[in-house]
Chain A
Amino acid sequence: MAESVPQAGPRPLLELRGVSMSFGGLAVIDDLDFVVNEGEIVSVIGPNGAGKTTLFNLITGLYRPDAGDILLGGDSLVGLPPHTITNRGIARTFQTLRLFLNMSVIENVMASQYGRTKVDIVRSMLRTPGWRKEEREIRERAEEKLSFFGQRLMGYRWNQPAYSLSYANRRRLEIARAMATEPRILLLDEPAAGMNPVETHEITEIIGELRERGGYTILVIEHDMHVVEGISDRVVALDHGVKIAEGTFEQVATDPRVVEAYLGTKATATK
């Protein structure tokens, strides 16, 4: 894992070139270009239906773009199955929370290490020394990822089924599970949704720490502007699948087109 020392010149890690996607004639993402540099935290904002989650689905291979190219470290990801893309180094969380509910907390984090481990089923059934060693490593790595959230997911919680967790803890577990795939870039889809102000503040700090201690590059979708302000190096604003603004938080937040996208124009406001 790379140290998070700011690079001399920004090296692009994730790159989108002219990506377009439409569902049944409705363009959801239209000719989108943008870059996430190594070690950066970039936020994507935009009103509901702007295409933010579709963007994540395109990057992680759940959808295939109609046009354009998506590159990770210079290699195209288009057409690869999602699990291969994850193995290349992209991991995500889900806005709607998609944990493996019937598995325990620690098993969730162990399961996502599938792509990073090798021992096949025959060796597992024979319980060879190689299996033993790898299993111990998987567990240690899972414990390490869970310890990222302080005491929130530690100790007795490891053996609880995921469905018994609170909403906020589920969001944390999703992040831990994504971290366990050992990604180069983390895609967080609304990490602070459904959290109270204290928890929101905590998750803001966690995201900062993910970069400092974990060395991840991070792309976040977030609605809470305090979080966006607190974490972002750069902000990209989307509306109707088009990038309408890009820059620092202040630049984007004061951009007239962004204000218009969120609040409407005067004409519509007075209706």
Chain B
Amino acid sequence: MSETPDTPDTPAADTPETQTPEAQAPAAQTSRIGVDSWVAESEARRSRTPAALVSRGLERTPDALKLLVFVGFAASVPYWMSQGDLFAFGIFTLFYAALALGLNVVVGFAGLLDLGYIALAGLGAYTYASLSSPKWGLNWPAEATIPIAMAVAALMGLILGFASRRLLGDYYAIVTLFFAQAFAYFTNTTDPHDITGGPNGLPNVSPVTFFGHALTSYKQVYYLLLVVVTLLAAATYFASKSRTGRAWRAQRDDPLAAEAMSIPVNRVKILAAVKGAAIAGLCGAILAAIVGAAVSTDYSVPFLIIIYAIVILGGVGSIAGVFLGATIINCTLQFLQPQNDHPSVERWLFYGTIILLVLMIKPVWRSGLVLAATVGFGFAVHAIVDATTTSTWTSGVPQSAGPWLAHWAVIPSTDPSTGLNHGNFNNIIYIGLVVMVIVTASLKGWWRLAALVPTLYLTVLAWENLLAGNGGITAYLLFGVMLIGLMAKRPQGLLGKAQVEIV
């Protein structure tokens, strides 16, 4: 249990000298009788394994120092990264982190399922784009319009909060989702006064200005975002450590008890929604300024999924988790883009992940056995297909790996000049993969290992024939798999704290 403690609540300085009787017992396997997860965790922290030492070191590092190290590293990025990478990896990671920090307040701290969050960012973007562009001849400076965009989004957050303040849980989710859909529809439709620009959005938006200097280069935008993210991280961290933060967590644990303990539950919930909305508005305005336009499709459900994936992957309620989640999700997205500067990375990512997953099988010799069996299985299948069909069935070129893989994986030629139609080969592979995954998951012991072999082979076929060429779809598939795996292995997210529901 190498829990990496991070966020809010552990002022670790005064480690207890007096210990619980359980904790004095020699460290042994977890889940012994009478040892709950807390005791097991503190024992794990006291032990001397490298993982425990790292986790203890992290826990004793002041949170301010962690932020400083992160900012120091992030500040050096523009000096060694190429311009294209800085835009794709640097700027967008920071942007996603900023947006996710706001969602983390709403979902993580206050426990509100806000599905309209992305539309609030859109509202900020459209507000900024209307005021800081030639659209209405206003062209106001960004120093004035960014606060306005934040205020408009916050006001909408307040209205949504009030509309649903008597509603609980799922109802709030439905109301906000309705708002998100209404917003997407409204902005995507051409209206008589052309307020939203319809599907074309609002173009020619001014960049962010700072005392008269327009921040236009990637480097300038990157540093602007770094400042914004740092301030947001500090502000949300401080908020979580305050009486309001305690009230948020208290009402998330037990709203009725919180109400009886002098906490105005509705008010603190609305406060969280408004604060999240203001952050969303700020991020939306900045995105409009970076890309120079406000376009409806930027603020729709796929974007919402990305932001939620970041918060859930990093650990709901964890600020460091937001940064980790934003980095992982954004890098995955960017590497899977059809045109990116690093075509070989996705190959390493894919095969690296597969091999890592197989290596998690214990004991290790079994994972070696599975890998060897898969290699053998592939050659056997390839040989059979080669011998029984025309050569075009195996003469294709892998989409991500080198051509040598074509001697192992069955890759039909996509060249139309062969005159052969390979039908729905890709679709059959894909469906076969889904079936095999389900079969593998429902088997036990040796049967499961045996089923894993064809599953792995099908995974490679699906990847080389279909998925590697369709980055957009693959990214969402990957996020789905990632989150399912996370749900099974670590439901609290990478850096989150496990929540106990009923004891």
Is the Cβ of B10 less than 8 Å from the Cβ of A161? no
Closest-by-CB residue of A relative to B266 is A81
| CA distance in complex: A20, B5 (Å) | 51
In the complex, the answer to whether A114 meets B254 with C-beta atoms within 8 Å is no
Q: Which residues of A contact B261 (CB under 8 A)?
A: 83, 86, 91, 111-112, 114, 177-178, 181
Q: What A residues does B11 contact at CB under 8 A?
A: 159
Query: Nearest chain A CB to B42's CB is how many angstroms away?
Result: 9
Q: Judge if B390 is at the interface, Cβ distance under 8 Å.
A: no
A161 to B39, CA, bound (A): 10
Does B260 contact A62, Cβ atoms closer than 8 Å? yes
Q: Are B19 and A124 interface neighbours, CB within 8 A?
A: no
0/1 string, B242-266, CB within 8 A of A gives 1: 1111110110011011111111110
The answer for the CA separation of A181 and B258 in the assembled complex, in Å, is: 11
| A100-B258, A102-B249, A124-B242 as given contacts; A156 in contact with B19, CB under 8 Å | yes
Question: Cβ of A125 and Cβ of B235 under 8 Å apart?
Answer: yes
A176-194 with Cβ < 8 A to chain B: 177-178, 181
Contact indicator B503/A124 (Cβ below 8 Å): no
Max chain B C-beta neighbours (<10 A), residue from A82, A103, A155, A178 = A82
Is B271 interfacial (CB-CB < 8 Å)?
yes
List of A residues within 8 angstroms of B249 by Cβ: 100, 102-103, 107, 111
Task: Enumerate chain A residues within 8 angstroms of B16, measured Cβ to Cβ.
Answer: 155-156, 159
B38 at the interface (CB under 8 A from A): yes
What is the minimal beta-carbon distance from B235 to any residue of chain A, in angstroms?
5
Q: Pick the contact of A124 from B14, B244, B259, B500 — CB < 8 Å?
A: B244
Which residues of B lie under 8 Å from residue A60 when comparing CB positions? 260
Kindly list chain A residues whose C-beta atoms are within 8 Å of the C-beta of B275. Answer: 121
**Which residue of A has the minimal Cβ distance to B39?**
A164
Q: Are A102 and B499 in contact (CB under 8 A)?
A: yes
B357 to chain A, nearest CB (A): 31
Would you give the shortest CB distance from A220 to chain B, in whole angstroms?
A: 17
Question: Of the candidates B243, B256, B257, B500, which one forms a contact with A113 in the assembled complex, judged by CB atoms under 8 Å apart?
Answer: B243
Q: Is A94 an interface residue (CB 8 A)?
A: yes
Report yes or no: A111 in contact with B260, Cβ–Cβ below 8 A: no
Question: Would A114 and B263 count as touching, CB distance under 8 A?
Answer: yes
CA distance A83 to B262 in the complex (A): 4
Cross-chain contact A112 with B262 (CB below 8 angstroms):
yes
Residue of A nearest to B234 (CB): A125
Task: Let me know if B257 and A124 touch, CB within 8 A.
Answer: no
Query: Is there contact, CB below 8 Å, between B260 and A102?
Result: no
Nearest to A180 among chain B residues (CB) is B261
Among A82, A91, A101, A108, contact of B259 (Cβ-Cβ < 8 Å):
A82
> In the bound complex, how far is the Cα of B195 from the Cα of A259, in angstroms?
78
Residues of A within 8 A of B271 (CB): 121
Within 8 A of B (CB), among A95-122: 98-104, 107-108, 110-117, 119-121
Instruction: Evaluate contact between B256 and A124: CB separation under 8 angstroms.
Output: no
State the CA gap A44–B134 with chains docked (Å): 73
Output the least CB separation between B495 and chain A (Å): 16
Assess whether B246 is in contact with A135, with CB atoms less than 8 Å apart.
no
Nearest-CB distance from B162 to chain A (Å)?
16
Question: How far is B200's CA from A233's CA once the two chains are assembled, in angstroms?
Answer: 77
Q: Name B9's contact: one of A94, A107, A108, A125 (CB within 8 Å).
A: A107
Which one of B20, B39, B239, B263 contacts A111 once the chains associate, using CB atoms below 8 Å?
A: B263
Which B193-225 residues have a C-beta within 8 angstroms of A?
A: none
Q: Which residues of B contact A54 (CB under 8 A)?
A: none
Per-position binary interface string of chain A over residues 137-169, scored 1 when its CB falls under 8 Å from any chain B CB and 0 otherwise: 010000000000000000110011101100000
B456 CB → nearest A CB, Å: 39
Q: A53 at the A/B interface (Cβ < 8 Å)?
A: no
Does B500 lie within 8 Å of A161, measured CB to CB?
yes
B171 contacts the other chain (CB 8 A): no
Q: How far is the CA of A87 from the CA of B39 in the complex (A)?
A: 36
Tell me whether A114 and B262 are in contact in the complex, defined as CB-CB below 8 angstroms, given that A100-B253, A102-B499, A131-B242 are known contacts. yes
Q: How many A-B residue pairs have CB under 8 A?
A: 135
Q: What are the residues of chain A within 8 A of B250 when measuring CB–CB?
A: 100, 103, 108, 111-112, 114
Asked if B38 contacts A98 (CB within 8 A), the reply is: no
Q: Does A92 contact B (CB under 8 A)?
A: yes
Residue in chain A with minimal CB distance to B254: A98
Give complex CA distance A92, B499 in Å.
25
Of A101, A110, A115, A125, the residue contacting B500 (CB under 8 A) is A101
B31 within 8 A of A: no
**Which of B10, B250, B500 has the most chain A CB within a 10 Å cutoff?**
B250
**Would you call B36 an interface residue if the criterion is a C-beta within 8 Å of the partner chain's C-beta atoms?**
yes
Q: Nearest residue in A to B247 (C-beta to C-beta)?
A: A114
A127 at the interface (CB under 8 A from B): yes
With A107-B9, A159-B11: A124-B243 Cβ-Cβ less than 8 Å: yes
Which residue from B38, B238, B246, B258 sits with its C-beta under 8 Å from A160? B38
Which residue of chain A has its CB nearest to the CB of B23? A156
B473 CB, min distance to chain A CBs, angstroms: 37
Interface residues of B in 2-59 (CB under 8 A from A): 9-11, 14, 16-20, 36, 38-39
- Nearest chain B CB to A9's CB is how many angstroms away? 31
* A102, B18: Cβ atoms closer than 8 Å: no
Q: Is B347 an interface residue (CB 8 A)?
A: no
Partner of B242, one of A81, A119, A160: A119
Is B497 part of the contact surface with A, judged by Cβ < 8 Å?
Answer: yes
CA distance A210 to B265 in the complex (A): 28
Q: Which residue of B lies closest to A104 (CB)?
A: B9
Report A-chain residues with C-beta under 8 Å of the C-beta of B263: 83, 111-112, 114-115
A163 touches which of B17, B235, B262, B500 (Cβ 8 Å): B500
CB within 8 Å of A: which B365-421 residues:
none
B92 CB to closest chain A CB (Å) equals 26
Residues of chain A from 18 to 41 with CB closer than 8 A to chain B in the complex? none
Residue contact A124 to B262, C-beta cutoff 8 Å: no
CB distance from A137 to the nearest CB of B (A): 11
B244 and A121 contact, CB distance less than 8 A: yes
Q: Contacts of A161 on B, CB cut-off 8 Å? A: 38, 500
- Cα-based distance from A182 to B245 in the complex (angstroms): 21
Instruction: Note all chain B residues with C-beta closer than 8 A to A86.
Output: 260-262
* Contacting residues of chain A (36-78) with chain B, CB-CB under 8 angstroms: 60, 62
A261 to B14, CA, bound (A): 54
Q: Which residues of A contact B262 (CB under 8 A)?
A: 83, 86-87, 112-116, 181
Which residues in B have their C-beta under 8 angstroms from that of A113? 243, 262
B246 contacts A107, CB within 8 Å? yes
**5 nearest A-B pairs in the assembled complex, by CB-CB distance:** A115-B262, A156-B16, A124-B242, A98-B257, A112-B261
Beyond the given A100-B249, A114-B243, please list 15 additional residue pairs across the A-B interface where CB-CB is below 8 A: A62-B260, A91-B260, A102-B497, A103-B249, A103-B250, A104-B9, A107-B249, A111-B249, A111-B250, A113-B262, A114-B250, A115-B263, A126-B238, A135-B242, A159-B14
Cβ contacts A to B, 6 pairs, < 8 Å: A87-B262, A112-B263, A114-B243, A120-B244, A126-B238, A156-B17
